[in-house]
Amino acid sequence: MLFSNPDYPVFLIAVFFLYVLARVGDARGWLARAALMILLGDIVFMLVAKEPDALWDPVGGIVLRLATFGGSSDAWDHWSLSMIFIRWPIGLAAVAGAVWAGRRGGTWLSSDAGQRVVARGIVGVLAVVALTVAIAHRTDSLDAVTAWIAAHGHLLVLAVLGLGIGLARDDGHRALGRIVVLFVASSLFYHAWAAAMPGPYRYLLALLLGTIILDYYLAIWIENCQSPQARKLLVVVSLVSNLGILFFFKYADFVTHDVLDLPVKRLHLILPAGISFHTFQSLSYTIDVYRKQLRATRSPIKFATFVLFFPQLVAGPIVRAQDLLPQLDDLPALELEKATRGLFRIVVGLFKKVALADTLALVIVDRVFDSPGAFSAVEVLAGVYGYALQIYLDFSAYSDIAIGSAAVLGFELPENFRTPYRSANLQEFWRRWHISLSTWLRDYLYVTLGGNRLGAARTYLNLILTMVLGGLWHGASWAFIVWGALHGFGLAVTRYFQRATAREAGAAWRLLAGCALLALAGLAIQTTIIPDDTGTWWKLVIAWLYLTPLWAVATAWLGREPAKSEALPLPAGIPWRALWPLRSRIPPARLVDKVSRELLIPELLRIGMCASGVVFLVALQYWDEWTWIPLVVVTWGLALAADLVERGPKDLAGHLRSIVLRGIAVFLVFNYVCLAWIFFRAESFDAALAILRQLGSGQYDSPNIVPLVTTALAVGFATHFFADGSFRWMRERFAMLPAWAQGGLLAAAALVLRELGHAKVVPFIYFQF
């Protein structure tokens, strides 16, 4: 997958400059810009093909061959007269003809009539590809056909890219040219994964484009159709086609063997990258058009770019058409400040992934979940907590990189995480965790089932069904269904007790006392009456029945106060750029007089926080292990102190009680979520039960919790509970720095990440979904 490959920075840089050049309209130097755009397109293509011989134009053919082989004789060994006098002229003719067509026919191509012809052309190409693959597969010549297509595929890329270059030449249709450039880049990004797959899987891009063009036509027909029955039939066709493909690849073996136990051979299909995400993204478009909440786009290229948009294609966020399509209709300007913040977000995501998530996976999580019997209860608990941190850091890291990559290009993607483990109840957790999925399930599944409009009992049932189907969306196994059921029943019970405690002032105390008595009685029954040889699953179910009501009413009562810290506005801070000594003639002694003490103290605390963080990184490499945890505590403490000073003593004292009560609720919710994570992470349902058995083994020795494990957990928790104001302070201060300082910090960050990286590559967790 190109996203988790070291080539991704090269890909992003090449796409960025390709996109920037497509925005330039000056006639001067146009041929040079066109040649540079072709070269950048060749670089993007080379990241997929990996072979200079696959290039059909002399621009990339010469430059990239020399860059690949240097000055060695290998650069010239494979050159031939056919390449120079046949391949390169054909490639130049293809790109030149496409550029000419884009310039001359730009007005027509931008019109609805031209877009209809483009859509038909895409259908024709996909039909030819499908027929060719089917015939080749039947005649056992698929590898030969694939090799021929791979050898000539660059011609198609040159033609489409040349069309985009030609369109970008004139002001009237430059926007469409830029969209074509993004379409080419996003298509190659997805094909980089498919090209490495065996057999027919190498044509998954064609399958994805087929579903895209089908939804494109269905949305237009739904909008134009006046009959309610016909509109409903068309949206059902969209649902069946999209979910049918998802079912075939993801659930065929599970249903035929684990559910129905049919005597058929397992297919062992490879799950296409990001299929769950782009399926939901495309479905939301046709459903919104059906609900008349969105107008169908007439441009197949815009719609395809919306679905294929490379930053979020593989693992989200799941972007709604109403969020991204307007940005494609009116392309946002490239802003240096937004791009700078995007780069900072990418670095933060890489730090979460490389330094924290992968470390947790390798030092404790994978070992515990692979062989739980080899670890004590304390070590297994550390592994479960470690996985809770790993999946958050890993998935939020992908979202950070995706959102940052889009920001570099000027686009805005929705937030996907808001520190979910700070949640004081399960409802709040799902408002903070994987926000794009939870809102999708709410708007397109929960509301469709009836939501809360059909009475309390139906509301609870709808919550349970929504979360069970959400668990099944993640994977085809009973463990995922149990994960979804735990969240569904937990949400239903939480909602019930929230309503009950809100009726009158004394209801919370009575319910709390009653649920506590139920928990004590259940615990007594389970320890004295229920036989010891009862299965782990039934013990878990019984414990859930008598403990969950106490947990739900406690979180409903303790967590009823909102999180105050997240309502604080971003402090302005000290205008360091204006007070920069090299730019100002103000004596250093008078600098303090120009800022208030209220701003100076938090600023100095955060500068100390950054210094402590740097010292911690040095300590990891050169100092004794006993220094690591204290440095983590000092860094986190300085960040927290800065936020508290900004809040002020009056505000802090007023909310101290609610902070303590909310903290208890957060602890309870976190542990319930960790219970569900056991089923999410375990290889099977039985493996999850083995983890639970080991948690109750009563073994408390911990020889495997070495300082590296403790430090990784401490840094993971500190990162998650890191003070919001301090994180935003770092982002804003980075944006204020001059370009040379930003470049230096980015280079330093790259070196640090290289040192903190691991030899074993740990793929992003959500790539499997």
728 part of a folded domain: no
511 part of a folded domain: yes
Angle between helices 628-647 and 724-736 (to 10 degrees): 90
Query: Are 75 and 68 in contact, with CB atoms under 8 Å apart?
Result: yes
Q: Tell me: do 11 and 159 sit in the same domain.
A: yes
CA dihedral 15, 20, 25, 29 (to 10 degrees): -80
State the pLDDT at residue 570: 42
Per DSSP, the three-state class of 271 is coil
Interval 457-467 mean pLDDT: 91
Question: What is d(CA 233, CA 239) in angstroms, rounded to the nearest whole number?
Answer: 10
Neighbours of 290 (CB within 10 A): 21
Flag whether pLDDT at 567 surpasses 50.
Answer: no
326 is in which domain, residue-wise?
200-260+269-331
Q: Which of 14-18, 81-85, 542-546 has the highest mean pLDDT?
A: 14-18
What would the two tokens of residue 414 be?
A: 């929705």
Q: Tell me: do 206 and 152 sit in the same domain.
A: no
Q: Tell me: do 227 and 292 sit in the same domain.
A: yes
Who's near 120: CB < 8 A, 6+ residues apart? none
**In b/e form, how buried is each residue of 13-24, taking b as 16+ CB within 10 angstroms?**
ebbbebbbbbbe
Per DSSP, the three-state class of 720 is helix
**H-type alpha helices, 83-225:** 88-104, 106-110, 112-138, 142-167, 174-194, 204-224
Q: Tell me: do 129 and 13 sit in the same domain.
A: yes
- Each residue of 233-264: pLDDT tens digit? 999 999 999 999 989 888 888 888 888 878 88
Interval 82-97 mean pLDDT: 83
Based on C-alpha coordinates, what's the Rg of the chain? Answer: 29
Question: What is d(CA 54, CA 49) in angstroms, rounded to the nearest whole number?
Answer: 7
Q: Tell me: do 426 and 507 sit in the same domain.
A: yes
State the pLDDT at residue 598: 57
Determine the residue type at 728.
R
* Vertex 271 angle, CA 266 and 276, to 5°: 125
Q: Tell me: do 165 and 37 sit in the same domain.
A: yes
State the pLDDT at residue 574: 47
State the pLDDT at residue 52: 75
162 part of a folded domain: yes
Query: Are 222 and 231 in contact, with CB atoms under 8 Å apart?
Result: yes
Look at residues 654, 683, 712 and tell me which one is the last residue of a structural domain. 683
pLDDT above 70: percentage of residues in the chain = 88
Question: What is d(CA 431, CA 717) in angstroms, rounded to the nearest whole number?
Answer: 20
Query: Are 501 and 553 in contact, with CB atoms under 8 Å apart?
Result: yes
- What's the gap between Cα 117 and its chain centre? 34
**Please, is 700 exposed, middle or buried when counting C-beta atoms within 10 Å of its C-beta (0-12, 13-18, 19+)?**
exposed
Question: What is d(CA 195, CA 49) in angstroms, rounded to the nearest whole number?
Answer: 8
Does the bond joining 317 to the residue before it have cis omega, within 30 degrees of 0? yes
- What's the gap between Cα 489 and its chain centre? 26
- Residue bearing the bigger pLDDT, 361 or 574: 361
Flag whether pLDDT at 654 surpasses 70.
Answer: no
Query: Are 267 and 254 in contact, with CB atoms under 8 Å apart?
Result: no
Q: Tell me: do 183 and 204 sit in the same domain.
A: no
Domain count, the chain: 3
Flag whether pLDDT at 84 surpasses 80.
Answer: no
515 part of a folded domain: yes
Q: Tell me: do 54 and 136 sit in the same domain.
A: yes
Catalytic residue among 474, 655, 720, 758: 474
Question: What is d(CA 67, CA 659) in angstroms, rounded to the nearest whole number?
Answer: 58
Flag whether pLDDT at 622 surpasses 90.
Answer: no
Determine the residue type at 693.
R
Flag whether pLDDT at 565 surpasses 60.
Answer: no
Question: What is d(CA 153, CA 452) in angstroms, rounded to the nearest whole number?
Answer: 52
Angle between helices 685-695 and 478-502 (to 10 degrees): 60
CA-to-CA separations, 43 to 7, 9, 196, 285, 470, in angstroms, rounded = 11, 12, 18, 33, 39
Q: Tell me: do 509 and 551 sit in the same domain.
A: yes
**Please, is 157 exposed, middle or buried when counting C-beta atoms within 10 Å of its C-beta (0-12, 13-18, 19+)?**
buried
State the pLDDT at residue 503: 66
Q: Tell me: do 154 and 118 sit in the same domain.
A: yes
State the pLDDT at residue 183: 92
- Each residue of 370-413: pLDDT tens digit? 999 889 999 999 999 999 999 999 999 999 999 999 999 889 99
432 part of a folded domain: yes
Q: Tell me: do 96 and 34 sit in the same domain.
A: yes
59 part of a folded domain: yes
Return the minimum-mean-pLDDT range out of 63-72, 332-341, 713-722.
63-72
Phi-psi region of 530 (alpha: psi -120 to 50; beta: other; left: phi over 0): beta
Neighbours of 532 (CB within 10 A): 6
Question: What is d(CA 718, CA 670) in angstroms, rounded to the nearest whole number?
Answer: 15
Query: Are 573 and 606 in contact, with CB atoms under 8 Å apart?
Result: no
103 part of a folded domain: yes
What would the two tokens of residue 430 be?
A: 């799902």
43 part of a folded domain: yes
- What's the gap between Cα 258 and its chain centre? 30
Question: What is d(CA 586, CA 602) in angstroms, rounded to the nearest whole number?
Answer: 22
- Each residue of 723-736: pLDDT tens digit? 667 778 888 888 88
Nearest alpha carbon to residue 179 among 305, 12, 282, 30? 305
Q: Tell me: do 105 and 150 sit in the same domain.
A: yes
Nearest alpha carbon to residue 707 among 355, 352, 371, 364? 364
Look at residues 173, 196, 219 and tell me which one is the last residue of a structural domain. 196
* DSSP structural state of residue 561: S
Question: What is d(CA 300, CA 319) in angstroms, rounded to the nearest whole number?
Answer: 18
Question: What is d(CA 130, CA 192) in angstroms, rounded to the nearest whole number?
Answer: 20
Is 474 an active-site residue? Answer: yes
Query: Are 205 and 190 in contact, with CB atoms under 8 Å apart?
Result: yes
Neighbours of 329 (CB within 10 A): 12
